[in-house]
């Protein structure tokens, strides 16, 4: 497997690894609760951390595969030559919005670091939860930009229909 392929799918690989951890912790928790009758008190904190990261890493993967919900009815009615530019403007708008969300989340991460807030049982720093948002936004911006530019440069009127 090439380095390029690994880097292009880094969010997918990280998300899969975190999902494996989530499943292992969930199964271990069920076993400890119902078979040993002694539940792991820390498992909820780990599961929430894993789920948060999976959600934002998965959003980047969804961008890359065009799996986010979109309404293209109006755009499809526009002639091809104009539609290409409108799709490019939409992609630019989405990237700007993601940059803004990423910026706000970085501000929140910095506040979490300054407050030194941690979870109750495992003392996991709160910023590890918050950090998933700017990282996810970064993956979404990269995926959105690559797809928009590639689509703009390679799409012809025959492939658009």
Q: Which residue has the tokens 């910026």?
A: 103
**CA–CA separation, 56 and 151 (whole Å):** 24
Quick one: CA dihedral 126, 127, 129, 130, positive or negative? positive
**Token code pair at residue 140:** 């979404």
Global pTM value: 0.85
Q: Check residue 105 and give its pLDDT.
A: 97
User: Does residue 57 contact residue 18 with C-beta atoms inside 8 Å?
Assistant: yes
pLDDT tens-digit readout, 59-99: 989 888 877 777 777 777 888 888 888 889 999 999 999 99
- Half-sphere exposure of 59 toward its Cβ, with a 13 Å CA cutoff? 17
Q: Check residue 75 and give its pLDDT.
A: 75
- Out of 13-22, 62-71, 138-147, the most confident range is 13-22
């Amino acid at each position: 497997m090439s380095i390029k392929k690994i880097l292009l799918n880094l969010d997918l690989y990280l998300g899969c690894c975190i999902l494996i951890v989530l499943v292992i912790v969930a199964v271990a928790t069920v076993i400890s609760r119902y078979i040993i009758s002694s539940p792991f008190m820390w498992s909820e904190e780990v599961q929430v951390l894993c789920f948060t990261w999976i959600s934002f890493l998965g959003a980047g993967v969804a961008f890359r595969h065009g799996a986010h919900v979109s309404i293209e009815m109006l755009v499809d009615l526009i002639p091809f030559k104009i539609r290409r530019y409108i799709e490019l403007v939409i992609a630019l708008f989405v990237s700007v919005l993601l940059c803004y969300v990423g910026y706000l989340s970085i501000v929140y991460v910095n506040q979490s670091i300054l407050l030194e807030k941690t979870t109750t049982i495992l003392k996991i720093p709160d910023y590890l939860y918050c950090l998933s948002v700017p990282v996810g936004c970064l993956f979404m911006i990269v995926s959105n930009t690559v797809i928009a530019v590639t689509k703009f440069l390679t799409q012809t009127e025959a492939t658009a229909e």
